[in-house]
Structures are given as C-alpha cells and as structure tokens.
Amino acid sequence: MNAWSGSREKATDIKRLSGTIAGDMTSSTSSVSKGCFVFKPSSKKKRSTFITADYFNKGQDKDSDNSRTRFETYQELWLKMKKETEQLQEDMNKKLFDGLIEFFRQSHSGFQEKTNEWSCRMRANEIPTAALVLGVNVTDHDVTFKSLTDVLQESVTPYVASLHSKECPGIGQMVQKLLIQLMGQSADLEYDEEDEDRVQVTHRRTYCSMASLSGWYQTVTKKEKSSTPGKKRTSSSSKYWQSPPVVVIIKDLESFTAKVLQDFITIISQYIQVLPLILVFGIATSPMIIHGLLSHSVCSLLCIELFQSLSCMEHLSTVIEKLLLTTQFPFKLSGKVLQVLISIFLYHDFSVHNFIKGLQLSLVEHFHSQPLSVLCCSASKVEARVKALSHAECESLRQLPSFMRYVESQVPEKQIQLLTNNSSVKEVTETLLEDLHVYHKNYIPVLRCLHSFTSILPKYPLGKQIRELFCSCLEKCIWEAEEYASAFQLLRMLAREELVSALVKCVAFLKGSSGEELDEAAEKLQEFLDAFQSHEESGQVDRTGNVDEEEISPQKSLRKTDLYHLQKTLLELKDSRRSKKLSRFEVLRHEIVDFIDDLVRKYLMPPEMQTLHEVMYFGAAVTLRRHLNAAPRIALHTALNNPYCYLKNEALKSEAGSISNSAPDICIAYKLHLECGRLINLYDWLEAFATVVCAADGKEHEFEPLEQVDEIIHARFIRAVSEMELLGFVKATKQKTDHVARLTWGGC
C-alpha cells in the first residue's frame, strides 16, 4: 500500500510538473514525459487586422478617417450602380423572357392536351426548340442564361439544366451532365462507345440514361399528383406548372461537336411522348448555324422558333445613359477614359459586362488614388464632408490645378485668404462643389437637347449615338469643331416637320430638369412651338418682297452684248437675291438655331474648365488602358529585360545594356539570347550564362569543358532554356543539333 501510494504521488508530481512547463510561455518544452505542449497567446496582445479600407491609406495613418470614408463612399456608389445595371438588365430581358415563356406555355399545353397540331408533332417526335440569338458578345451570355434560369425556376419549372461544350466532349458526358443537374446524382460514367445511344451510368443500382430520367420524372410528378385531395399543395409545388417541362439550355451551340449534338437530339426525341422536353439553343452568330451543324433528318426532329435579344450597341447606350448621363451618381469619367472603355468595347469583345467592370475599375482607381475623392458625394453630404477636411486635405485642395486657376483669378486680398486661411478654403470649396452639381444638372438636359437636333441630320456630323456626342463634348469645346459648324448649317435648312419634332423633344428634356434657367429656356422654346402652330393655322406664307420691281430681268440682260454690262447685270441680280426678304418660317428657324447655339455655348463647357473637377472626374486613361488592354509582348519584355520593374529589388538595378548578376536565371538567359542571331549555339550560351552566374558569387570563372561544368549551374541553365522554350522565345532546330532557333523580336 505504501509503495502504491508513493508511486501515485510521484505520478501526480510529474503531471503537475508537466502542466507547469506547458503553461509557461518562456520555459522549455523538455520534460521527463513525452507529450504535446500547447502555448496559448497572451490575452494582452491583440491580433493585427487589416481591412480592405486600409488599402486606401496611401501612406497615411492606419486609422485615418479619410481612407475609411473614401472606401465607404466607393462601396455605396458601386452598390447603387450595380443595382441600377441589374435592374436595367432585367428590364431589357423582360420582353425576351416573356416571349420565351409564352412559347414554353404553348408547347407545354400541347403536351398536356395532345390535340390538334401538337398531336401531329408528338407523332413526328418534334422537340420544341427556342433558337436564342444573343450576339457576338459571348462573355455576356452567362449573365443572360443565369437570369433565364432564375426566371424559369421561379415560376415555370424546377427542372432546368445548362450544358456547356467544354463539359460535353462526348454523348456520354453530355447525358451524364444533364442527369446530374436534373436528378442530383454524382456517379461515375461507364458507357459503351460502340453503342452510345444507350448511355449507362451505375449509381445506386440505377441506370443513369434517358430512360431512367423519364422514369424518375414520372415518379416525381406522380407523387405530386397523388397527394390527398383534402390537403393543399405546398407553396413550392404550386408555383410551377402542372407536369412542369424539362428545359435543356445549350449555351454555346457553335462550339458543340456536330456528331455529339445530333446523337443527343436523336436520343431525346425518342422520349418526347412521355417526357416534356424543351431545348434552348444559345447562338452567337446566325440561326443558319443550326443547319450547318445538324443534318436534315435531325433538324426535322426540332420545332424551332427564333428569338432575338437586344443589340449590344443599344445595351451599351442605355448603360451609359443610366450610369453617366445622370445626376444620380456624382462620379464621372473624363473624355479620354470614356473613349478607352468604348474603344475596348468596339474593337475587342462587344461586352457590356466588361464595360461595366471597366467602369468599376475606374471608380476604384479614383477613390484609391485621389485623397480628395472624399468630396465625390451627393449634394446633401457636401457640407458635412467639407467641414471635416483636415489641414493636409486643405493643402491638397490648394494644389489642384483648377483651384490654382480659381485663386489666380481672384483679387489679391482674396488670394491671401485662400492661401493662408483654411476656413476660407472650406467656404469656397462648398460653394464650388454646389456649382459643380448645378453644372451637371444643366449639362445633361442641354446635351440631350443638342442630340435631338443633330441626330436627324444627314451623315450625322456629330454622331448618331448620344455617346459619340458626349465624348466630343467632354474632350473639348464642341462649338470649336468643324463638324459643329457644318451641323448648324444643316440645321438652318431643316424642314418644318423635323424641326418641330426636335423642338418637342428638346422642350421635354429641358422641362424635366430642376434648374430655373433651363425652365426659362423651355418656355422660350415653347413660344417657338406656339409660333409655328399659329403660323400653320393662318395658312399664309410670307412671300412678298422676293423680287424687286426695278430688278432687271434675265431676258433684258441677255440683250446686252457688251461683256462689261453683262457682268454688271449679273452682279445686280445676285445682290437682289441676297437681299430677298425671308419668310416667317425661315425667320423662326434661324431664331431657334441661334437659341440652341447659345444654350450649347453656355452649358456645354468641358469639365476641365470647371473648378474642382478633379474631385469627381477620373482622368487616368493611361492607367486604365494598362489594366484593361494589356500588351503581353511589352509586359514580357519588360519583366525579363528589367526585372526590377516588377520585383522592386534594389540589387536588380543595372545600367542599360548590362546584365545584373543577381537577376533570375531566365532573365540572364533572355538578355544573353538578345545578343544572338537567328541560331543560338547552346555551348556558347551556356558559357556566357555560367560566366554571369559565377560573377554573382564573386568568383573569377575560367570556363572549363562542358563535362566539367558545375552540375547546379548546368541544371539552372537547362531550366532557364526550357522556360524560354515554353514561353515561345526559342525552339529546337534540325539544322544543327547543338543549336536552337530564335523565334521573336529581331532574329535574322
């Protein structure tokens, strides 16, 4: 007993000792017993956190209120813009989706009734097919199909599957993907390539084929129908159609293999009498691609109806009007930045989605790079934001080019106050920002008014779309352009119907604005409209005074055979035509054109001429182009020829033409290969590489035969050459076994 109790006490002491050692952070983990020691951090130390708003600091204090306010303002603006674009997308797709659902309803009702025309289709095994032409902006198709899937699953059917060409290289994989999405199965595919129309996938003793899909569908729908009559249907099932159809969306029809698509349609056509299948083809090019991919016998199995989505050009114009040509969002783009985004859209992808992403990038860059973007807010928040400006931010305001021009235009006493007194700066800043908001309120209606006149002119001297006119007005004073002068010459020759139609639109735009000055302009244009109406009701045209009584007639002038008298007579006739008295309509037309010209010169001043425009306008077009329109050749050459540009390591700095011995191996190999011709001797290349690498170690290297080269240097060289071959700079050549051919940039 004593021995046992003594051993128990020793064991207790060992445990107590182990716990003491484990609990002490500064002690060693060595112990008389083996164990796992866990050290908990001290509660006094706080874990360092780094939030997204800290990226907006740019060298300021981590707890700077300016960076957090800018980040919150950015988030608020972007969420509003995103919501606006989503609502716009929904409104634009509504008509298209309504047409699709009506087509599905007719096809489904035919399946239910099995009468008349649909009975013939059922006997002919025709599959209802919607050919959805979406355009070449392929990157936007996913958004459209996702919205279509949500609409169908919301009120039509829960059975919607989307198939992509890269996931369906064969008929087996295509059927498997279809059944996995519909039935929720995750089975391994096992099928016989010789008999692909009987695709079988083993999963829980069930054959995953079209027959199993049909049986599964009958079982699911039978359960819903066999619910007791006394019980009401659940809300989840009551929102769908009775015996809801199975919709299969083939997103990129052009990318599918013709044989796979034909086999798939042939197989599912055998089950159309028991399974309400509907196909949706996503087409980017032309509906004729259906006949190019499918044979006549397969096309005869489809009952195709064509649907056309809205043009991407119209979509872009609507997005610009909703996001940029509005006073709802204080953030604006300069003319060059907007031109970059539109150029990428027109010459690269026609993707409105990418255009919106570029707009978001501009928004991020503006709030990140401009500390004074904290003032880019709605008019109701300007006063509070200005009062919260610090001394450093007031100094930043004084350094803005537009504010410096404003200070220089003031009297000397006012200049001293603006340069020394922060209160004066804040007071003036608040006034200037209010003027900038008023400028935007007047700018947009007058721009629309000008577009209503110029968009009806032949050859569209100022552009057909409003975005073209908008870019021109942002970049310069539009009235200084030659196109503006020619446009207004054409306006002075407009017919009455076209002039009245443009006036009606212009009055609507100006009345819709909230500016008092534009209300007066709208009243003036309304007076012109009333004058036109009264002139039309009178039914009189002022033609008097066109020809003077004492004017010499052409027949009388022809009697003069003397050249001098003939020339004099023709000049008098020309002067008389110039002095012809204008009609009432022509006088009104000239007055209207002059009035529109005055509006343009007064309200369409370029943003760069407005004070504090830097606060709301993003103008770093070069930065935006570098991010969105990358040049791989320049980027690769810069990275390999000057690695310091990306790595920011001081040791990598070198003079032009020299090779840094501390650069990465591929950079050394790349700069050495630039000194060679079309064929590069691997032996000489290795010798030069080893010389540069050994110089990095501070060794004087005398090159030895290839067999005696350091294995590590040899391996590094082989890896660098392999990487260059992977990038496409060199390739093996059959001309000489110990040479490689240079492929790019100056090989001769």
Tens digit of pLDDT for each residue in 365-384? 999 999 999 999 999 999 99
Q: Residue 618 and residue 624: Cα distance in Å, rounded?
A: 10
How high is the mean pLDDT of the chain?
81
Query: For residue 243, how far is the Cα from the chain centroid?
Result: 40
Residue 332 is encoded by which pair of tokens? 């604006």
Cross-strand pairs, 246: 277
Q: Is the pLDDT confidence value at 307 over 90?
A: yes
Please tell me what DSSP assigns to residue 201.
-
What are the tens digits of pLDDT across the range 154-205?
A: 988 999 999 999 999 999 889 989 998 988 743 333 444 444 444 444 444 3
Please report the pLDDT score of residue 544 as a whole number.
Answer: 34
Q: Residue 640 and residue 632: Cα distance in Å, rounded?
A: 12
Mean pLDDT (whole number) for 334-361: 94
Q: Residue 219 and residue 213: Cα distance in Å, rounded?
A: 10
Given pLDDT bands bounded at 50, 70 and 90, which one contains residue 583?
A: confident
- The residue type found at 515 is G
Please report the pLDDT score of residue 565 as a whole number.
Answer: 72
100 touches 130 (CB < 8 A): yes
Given pLDDT bands bounded at 50, 70 and 90, which one contains residue 108?
A: confident
- The residue type found at 631 is A
77 touches 375 (CB < 8 A): no
Please tell me what DSSP assigns to residue 348.
I
Closest Cα to residue 246, out of 277, 222, 273? 277
Q: Domain ranges for the chain, please list them.
A: 1-41, 84-221+239-310, 316-531+609-615, 632-742
Mean pLDDT (whole number) for 75-103: 93
**What is the residue whose two structure tokens read 């920002």?**
433
Please report the pLDDT score of residue 488 as a whole number.
Answer: 94
Please report the pLDDT score of residue 539 as a whole number.
Answer: 56
Q: How far is CA 353 from CA 139, 140, 348, in A?
A: 7, 6, 13
Closest Cα to residue 477, out of 604, 603, 596, 598? 604
Q: Is the pLDDT confidence value at 658 over 60?
A: yes
Torsions phi, psi for 648 (to 5 deg): 55, 40
* Residue that wins the pLDDT comparison between 115 and 526: 526
Q: Residue 584 and residue 541: Cα distance in Å, rounded?
A: 7
The share of the chain scoring above pLDDT 90, in percent, equals 52
Cβ-proximal residues to 582 (8 Å cutoff; 6+ apart), any chain: 590
CA 608-609-615 angle, 5° bins: 50
95 touches 309 (CB < 8 A): no
Q: Residue 96 and residue 133: Cα distance in Å, rounded?
A: 11
DSSP 496-544: HHHHHHHHHHHHHHHHTS--HHHHHHHHHHHHHHHHHHHHHHHT----T
What are the tens digits of pLDDT across the range 494-519?
A: 898 999 999 999 999 998 776 678 88
Cβ-proximal residues to 383 (8 Å cutoff; 6+ apart), any chain: 430
Please report the pLDDT score of residue 106 as a whole number.
Answer: 85
Mean pLDDT (whole number) for 539-562: 45
- The residue type found at 386 is V
Q: Residue 428 and residue 165: Cα distance in Å, rounded?
A: 61
> How would you classify the pairing of strands 160-163 and 246-250?
parallel
Given pLDDT bands bounded at 50, 70 and 90, which one contains residue 19?
A: very low
Rounding to the nearest 10 degrees, give the CA dihedral for residues 476, 477, 479, 482.
-30
Q: Residue 168 and residue 329: Cα distance in Å, rounded?
A: 44
Q: Is the pLDDT confidence value at 4 over 70?
A: no
Torsions phi, psi for 552 (to 5 deg): -80, 130
Q: Is the pLDDT confidence value at 8 over 80?
A: no
* Residue that wins the pLDDT comparison between 584 and 37: 584
**What is the CATH architecture of 84-221+239-310?**
3-Layer(aba) Sandwich (3.40)
List, edge to edge, every strand of the sheet that includes 246-250: 160-163, 246-250, 277-283, 127-133, 302-308
Please report the pLDDT score of residue 470 as a whole number.
Answer: 95
Given pLDDT bands bounded at 50, 70 and 90, which one contains residue 342?
A: very high
Given pLDDT bands bounded at 50, 70 and 90, which one contains residue 288?
A: very high
Please report the pLDDT score of residue 52 as a whole number.
Answer: 64
Mean pLDDT (whole number) for 634-650: 85
* Residue that wins the pLDDT comparison between 89 and 108: 89
Q: Residue 102 and residue 68: Cα distance in Å, rounded?
A: 50
- The residue type found at 144 is T
- The residue type found at 197 is D
Please report the pLDDT score of residue 478 as a whole number.
Answer: 94
Where does residue 225 fall: left (phi above 0), alpha (psi -120 to 50 degrees), or beta otherwise?
A: alpha
Q: Is the pTM of this model over 0.85?
A: no
Cross-strand pairs, 130: 280, 305
Q: Is the pLDDT confidence value at 654 over 80?
A: no
Gyration radius from the chain CA atoms: 39
Closest Cα to residue 402, out of 375, 365, 442? 375
Closest Cα to residue 163, out of 154, 173, 153, 155? 173
Q: Is the pLDDT confidence value at 54 over 80?
A: no
Q: How far is CA 457 from CA 374, 474, 494, 499, in A?
A: 42, 21, 8, 11
Please report the pLDDT score of residue 220 as a whole number.
Answer: 86
Please report the pLDDT score of residue 442 as a whole number.
Answer: 93
Residue 701 is encoded by which pair of tokens? 């290297």
Neighbours of 352 (CB within 10 A): 26
Query: For residue 338, how far is the Cα from the chain centroid?
Result: 12
Q: Is the pLDDT confidence value at 9 over 50?
A: no
Please report the pLDDT score of residue 534 as a whole number.
Answer: 80
Mean pLDDT (whole number) for 220-235: 59
Please report the pLDDT score of residue 242 as a whole number.
Answer: 77
Distance spanning both ends of the chain, measured CA to CA: 98
No. of helices (H) and no. of strands (E), the chain: 31, 12
Please report the pLDDT score of residue 278 as a whole number.
Answer: 93
Given pLDDT bands bounded at 50, 70 and 90, which one contains residue 224?
A: low
Q: Is the pLDDT confidence value at 614 over 50?
A: yes
Kindly report which listed range (20-29, 36-45, 716-725) carries the lowest average pLDDT score: 20-29
What are the tens digits of pLDDT across the range 421-480?
A: 999 999 999 999 999 999 999 999 999 999 999 999 999 999 999 999 999 999 999 999
Angle between helices 65-113 and 352-369 (to 10 degrees): 170
Please report the pLDDT score of residue 155 as a whole number.
Answer: 86
Residue 333 is encoded by which pair of tokens? 């783009």
Q: Residue 175 and residue 167: Cα distance in Å, rounded?
A: 11
Query: For residue 83, how far is the Cα from the chain centroid?
Result: 15
* Residue that wins the pLDDT comparison between 542 and 676: 676
Q: Residue 135 and residue 349: Cα distance in Å, rounded?
A: 11
Closest Cα to residue 451, out of 416, 491, 394? 491
- The residue type found at 595 is F
Four-way CATH pick for 632-742: 1.10.10, 1.10.8, 3.40.1710, 3.90.1490: 1.10.10
Largest CA distance in the chain: 158
What are the tens digits of pLDDT across the range 310-324?
A: 889 999 999 999 999
- 292-304 burial by CB neighbour count: b if 16+ within 10 A, else e? ebbeeebeebbbe
